[in-house]
Amino acid sequence: MNISFFFPGQGSQTVGMGKVWCETHASVRQRFTTADRILKEEFGFKESLSTLCFNGPDEILQETRVCQPALFVLGYAVAEHLKNSETFKKHTVVCATGLSLGLLTALAVADVWDFETALRVVATRGHLMQEACELQPTGMTALIGGTTEAIGQLCKEFDLDVCNRNCPGQTVVGGVCENLKALQSVAKERGFKLAVPLKVAGAYHSRWMQPAREKFEVFLKNIPFSAPVLPVVSDTTGEILTDPDAIRAELGRQLTSTVQFEKCMRKCATLGFALGLECGSGNVIAGLAKRTDGTLKIQSMAEPKDTEVLH
């Protein structure tokens, strides 16, 4: 069977994530142990990543600097376990992608970097984005329903950016918090079914991430990149990433560019996967896929029992 790997982004983290995987699979546990050491020694984590994932508290796990490494480590470790399992030998991986941070996990699984290098890239990204979030109170709101024209008018009126086009009928906008509150008060009368504030620390994939982008691009200049060993689909262009220099440029640009995840999923569908595996916490991507194309089948791998679908 042809398989595609999907990796979640911020918002999918939950307290307890990865605990059962670590209790039952030594390879997953080893990746968390390595991450605990690197994040404490090099990034100043006071609590181990494992402790924060398994026990919280939720408000710390939600911090950008924490949840990005958390989602990366779990997603990478689960995909690695699957690829190395005896059952997986009868399956073929035809592509990989991810939502925002998840794209970096996909690139690591495609051997663009080794695990430890990828973790440092992700942790640096999370740290710089956290810094940018602290410069000004910003956030994100998911708009359900409405037209493209109505979204454009709201962004112009309230000085917002379109951050994500996730699936038909779901667009995420970001900007200064007081402007988002004003938007929420008028959304229904402008034809939107819902305007839902997201539990995030800032306006990701918008102009407000420019300070993080500039520093991240400088950091990436000294990081070695290899060509992916399998097709990785960009979440901002919907195109396949192949050239190491182009990938380096894409990762900087991604911080301030709209995530076009609907386009990304439609591109993956053309590559002929029969089953997508959402490696990590939650099932956000599975839900987006269902609303994009009812024929797309994506299964969450949040718990070890979920792998039964591959047998």
Write down how long the chain is: 311
In the chain, the amino acid numbered 45 is F
Exactly one of 4, 12, 81, 205 is catalytic; name it: 205
In whole angstroms, give the CA distance from residue 247 to residue 252.
9
205: annotated active-site residue: yes
User: Please, which residues have CB within 8 angstroms of residue 290's CB and are 6 or more apart in sequence?
Assistant: 296, 298
Exactly one of 100, 206, 281, 300 is catalytic; name it: 100
Q: Are strands 138-145 and 192-197 parallel, antiparallel or unpaired?
A: antiparallel
In whole angstroms, give the CA distance from residue 295 to residue 276.
11
100: annotated active-site residue: yes
List active site positions: 100, 205
